[in-house]
Amino acid sequence: MKKVNIDLCSWPNIALIKYWGKKSGQTPLNPSLSVNLNRAQTRFTGQISVHDQKKAQLRLNQFEDKLQKKLDEFSLQHSWVNQLLLELQSENNFPHSCGIASSASSMSAFAKVLAFSYQSFFDERPSMEQISSWARFFSGSACRSIEKGWFLWGQTELHANTSDFYSVKIDQIHPSFSQLCDTILIFDDSVKQLSSTEGHQLMENHPQKNQRRQRANERLEQLLKALAEGQTEKFCHLVEAEALDLHFLMMTGLRPYSLLSGLSLEMIKSMWKFREEQNLFITFTIDAGPNLHLIYPLKNQNMIQRWLADHPLKDSFTCFEDTLGEKF
């Protein structure tokens, strides 16, 4: 029986225009735009073989039941996976619930495992669009983590060849954004009160649903221009407005909730003051949690690290240091 060895990695991405809310079939309410992290990774190792059962069978060291369930759903459209026995281990090198979307890195890694199996057993190489679409099935934001770089997911007239089913690469990125650092301040690493799945669901009847879609589209248009032309101040403004919009949407739904902490807000205010005093390129974004991604160019790294080391809140957070984009 043919067996293939697996040793594959993928990485998380951080959304600067956020995907929040779905249309049918795991397609997004609005287009989103993200960039990859480099140091944080998920690695899948193990073996895959073809078996004569009628159902895909997964053996995994963690989240086996959850992923097997998703794989069973996936097999309804992709019957070829039923021939596979997947004996795998997965491992993240970054802390769980730290503000880095582990589902994007693990589910994009899993889609790469499926793509490798497809190629090994059926002699056909799936396209990048296919792999992205498979990743989207397992977790929406994972479709933006198939390759490194800046990726746009969601059909829009603002860019050529976009789709609700897979992400496309944005190539027009000004050198001002080619060496960005991402220092993640972890205030709280406990599991969130409300999962992203529940958050997306709450957008279905959200009173701001249409306005949200419009705001995201307007910001996307401006962000694409800022990225292409090197408008760093505009970039900072848009990225922050999007992060705060995500949390505003959580607080203004029919079932309001908040994942922010007082410390996240303290730190945001402190960063604004520091930026104004020093006249530096630094901004923040936040995903569905309290932890803050501080984003700034490599040339400002020493100054920002010194500011953090002396910060009055320094005992309230731990840092995970990463970089963004493919050129790092």
The DSSP output letter for 259 is -
Query: d(Cα 7, Cα 15) in Å, to the nearest integer?
Result: 27
Q: Which of 141, 156, 283, 291 binds ligand PMV (CB under 6 A)?
A: 141
Q: How far is the CB of 150 from ligand PMV (least distance, A)?
A: 13
Select from 196, 222, 264, 291 the one that contacts ligand PMV (CB under 6 A). 196
Can you read off the two tokens belonging to residue 307?
A: 């500011």
**From 46-54, 111-119, 134-142, 163-171, span contacting ligand PMV (CB under 6 A):** 134-142
Site string for ligand PMV, 31-60 (x = CB under 6 A): -x----------------------------
**Phi, psi torsion values for 270, nearest 5 degrees:** -65, -40
Contact pattern from residue 91 through residue 110 relative to ligand PMV, giving x for each residue in contact according to CB under 6 A and a dash for the rest: ----------x-x-------
Q: Sign of dihedral through CA atoms 20, 130, 227, 267? A: positive
Smallest gap from Cβ 92 to ligand PMV, in A, equals: 15
- Tokens found for residue 281: 């390129």
Stretch binding ligand PMV (CB under 6 A), from 64-72, 127-135, 136-144, 177-185: 136-144
Contacting residues for 40 by C-beta, under 8 A, at least 6 apart: 11, 12, 92, 93, 94, 100, 105, 320, 322
| Complex with ligand PMV: residue 287 or 307, whichever CB lies closer | 287
203 in contact with ligand PMV (CB under 6 A): no
Q: Quick one: which of 30, 132, 139, 222 contacts ligand PMV (CB under 6 A)? A: 139
User: What gap in Å lies between CA 67 and CA 55, rounded to an integer?
Assistant: 14
Other beta carbons less than 10 A from residue 2's beta carbon = 8
Stretch that binds ligand PMV, among 12-20, 230-238, 310-318, 320-328 (CB under 6 A): 12-20
How far apart CA 53 and CA 208 sit, in angstroms, is 48
* Whole-Å CA distances, 285 to 85, 144, 233, 316: 40, 17, 14, 18
Q: Answer yes or no whether residue 249 interacts with ligand PMV by CB under 6 A.
A: no
The residues of the shown chain that bind ligand PMV, judged by CB under 6 A, are: 15, 18-20, 32, 101, 103, 139-141, 196, 200, 246, 287-288
